[in-house]
Amino acid sequence: MVRYISTRGEAPVLSFDEVVLTGLARDGGLYVPETWPQFSQDEIRSLASMNYADAAAFLLYPFIGDAISKSDFTAMTTKAYASFSHQAVVPLSQLGPNEFLMELYHGPTLAFKDVALQLLGLLYDHLLGSRGKRVTIVGATSGDTGSAAIDACRGRDAVDIFILHPAGRVSEVQRRQMTTVLDSNVHNIAVEGDFDDCQAMVKAMFNDLAFRDELAVSAVNSINWARVMAQIVYYFTVGVSLGSPDRAVSFSVPSGNFGDVYAGYAASKMGLPVEQLIVATNRNDILSRFFNSGEYRKSGVDPTISPSMDIQVSSNFERFLFDLHGRDGVAVSDLMSKLDTDGGFSVNMSLLNEGIFSAGSSSEDETLQTIQHTLQDSLKLVDPHTAVGLKVGAECRNHSDAPLVTLSTAHPAKFPDAVEKATGVHPELPGHLSDLFTREERLVQLPNDLSTVKSYIRERARILQAI
């Protein structure tokens, strides 16, 4: 059974159920599995005959241990992925010779985050319902996490959910997908600041241990281990459909918080042969600069047409740093305090050169051109995040014959303005969202001030009212 340790080495070792309900470790670190479950070549081959939900149950159950029975967990993956509109859940389409698109946007809110959050919503219900407990979820979103988390948690009695988004900096579709959910356990807060301000506020609430304990605060951001865990599955299913384990596959991943691409790294640690993991960023390129220079240094955030990747500091990156430093929690703590005090740090490039990562970035113009080319050359309309992945993937791909799979992280209709600007085509929302623009919205706008936001949450969390 896998246990979970903190990247800073000081917090207690936890079981799966504790990790899901906790989110951030009490020493400020992130939880990672103590060991990676291993899958043999034959086990990986056997995925070819499973549907997506069964593959998920097979691959993820070793992370869960006794917290949930295997049959309950299989029922949960089945239910979670029944909410997807495509029977394959995560289908693969072909763009060119040996070039593929992994379509991660067929969930209820049209972004890849549904893959993890539809499962996480059910995990909360199961783990809390059986104990008669409640949690208060607090999360920051640059657009897609918020709507996916809200959809997964709406109407659940065990959960109150508070989502902070940067006011005016998410697309109208993204905002409406959050604010038109009127269930009484859903609270949307527009913060007068940028995404990093929202994320810093959420981190501060987690680091206030009294607040955290009193409200039983839990995280749906990708600092929650269950998020990363659920994302491991599609690397395997897609790899297998392209010939793994007998053939290595490369993945290009549009990246912001480093959660999605870290799941690909986890898949490689668990036995999937991965030729390259390409970290694709927009002009907010801290990750790309890091993989090319060894220096991790903050700079300001510039709004782009791929807003879900507009971040300054990638929260999951710490999980990777931990492995890069031989799982030395003290070394990670030192680097993270340097990041706070000096604005950055460097690691030895020789550590990075041995790895499977490469990285690059895409300018706004390059992203628009890629959307246009992809429609012209492959008859496929892609969203701006996906386009960043395609552009950087083409640039960073090595000359092996490994297939290149770009992760298509959002439906083009989620970002209609950029897509229309690039192609002249206005992408239509799927039927279940076609009346989005006429639905009633509910949200509150608050200043970028921690204590104001905290009291707002405190006044509304049902866990306090029940006492």
Ligand X SMILES: *Cc1c(COP(=O)(O)O)cnc(C)c1O
Smallest distance, ligand X to C-beta of residue 255, A = 4
Which residues have C-beta within 8 Å of that of residue 169, sequence separation ≥ 6? 142, 194, 195, 303, 307, 310
**9 is written with which tokens?**
């080495």
Q: Which is catalytic among the residues 70, 113, 133, 338?
A: 113
User: 409 or 423, CB closer to ligand X?
Assistant: 409
Smallest distance, ligand X to C-beta of residue 189, A = 19
Separation CA 94–CA 379 (nearest Å): 10
DSSP letters along 323-358, please? HHTTT-HHHHHHHHHHHHHHSEEE--HHHHHTSSEE
Phi, psi of 88 (to 5 degrees): -80, -5
Segment (H or E) for 99: strand 99-103
DSSP letters along 368-416, please? HHHHHHHHHHH-----HHHHHHHHHHHHH--SSS--EEEEE-B-GGGSH
Smallest distance, ligand X to C-beta of residue 119, A = 15
Smallest distance, ligand X to C-beta of residue 91, A = 17
Smallest distance, ligand X to C-beta of residue 142, A = 7
User: 253 or 335, CB closer to ligand X?
Assistant: 253
User: 250 or 386, CB closer to ligand X?
Assistant: 386
Separation CA 231–CA 244 (nearest Å): 18
Q: Which residues of this chain interact with ligand X, rule CB under 6 A?
A: 111, 113, 144, 222, 254-260, 308-309, 385, 409-410
Neighbours of 195 (CB within 10 A): 28
The answer to whether 148 touches 120, Cβ cutoff 8 Å, is no
DSSP-derived 3-state class of residue 28: coil
User: 225 or 258, CB closer to ligand X?
Assistant: 258
Separation CA 56–CA 353 (nearest Å): 32
User: 172 or 342, CB closer to ligand X?
Assistant: 172
Neighbours of 323 (CB within 10 A): 18
Q: How far apart are the first and last CA of the chain?
A: 36
User: 118 or 257, CB closer to ligand X?
Assistant: 257
Query: Is there a catalytic annotation at residue 203?
Result: no
Count Cβ atoms within 10 A of the Cβ of residue 364 and give its class: 0-12 exposed, 13-18 middle, 19 or more buried.
middle
Separation CA 282–CA 384 (nearest Å): 10
Smallest distance, ligand X to C-beta of residue 392, A = 12
User: 259 or 403, CB closer to ligand X?
Assistant: 259
Smallest distance, ligand X to C-beta of residue 177, A = 12
* Residues catalogued as catalytic: 113
